[in-house]
Amino acid sequence: MLDVMSLIAVAAAVVLYVVAGVLALTTGRAVPWQRGYILRPRLWGSGALAFAAGLALARYGASVRDLTNSDVVFASSLIMLISGGVLQYVGQRVGRLRV
């Protein structure tokens, strides 16, 4: 049961990140709750897509049974998560942090 709930939660987060990333990449506008904080929406959107792909890959890696393949999947998902987070951070406005 916990596995199904985890799958649903990760799927919802991935869908939200993909929608926000596609919106930022195609229209050049950020999602409404991020408009004041994002300076370069296309860069932020590509980071959101990379982060979503890393999240989905990490969730898939939890179901891989082979130890070597699992290590490779988790390492690549970690790289995607970090690079997506860095791209999102770089796409934000400097000095506009939430308190």
pLDDT, tens only, 6-33: 889 999 999 999 999 999 999 988 888 8
* φ, ψ of residue 92 in degrees (nearest 5): -85, 160
- What b/e sequence results for 56-68 when a residue is b if at least 16 CB atoms lie within 10 Å of its CB, and e otherwise? bbbbebeeeeeee
Whether residue 21 contacts residue 48, with contact meaning beta carbons closer than 8 Å, is answered with yes
Q: Is the pLDDT of residue 54 over 90?
A: yes
pLDDT for residue 31: 85
Average pLDDT over residues 55-60: 91
Provide the 8-state DSSP code for 22: H
CA distance 5 to 63: 14
pLDDT of 73 above 80: yes
pLDDT reported for residue 97? 58
pTM of the model: 0.85
Q: Where are the domains of the chain?
A: 2-91
Provide the strand spans (E) within the chain: none
89, pLDDT greater than 80: yes
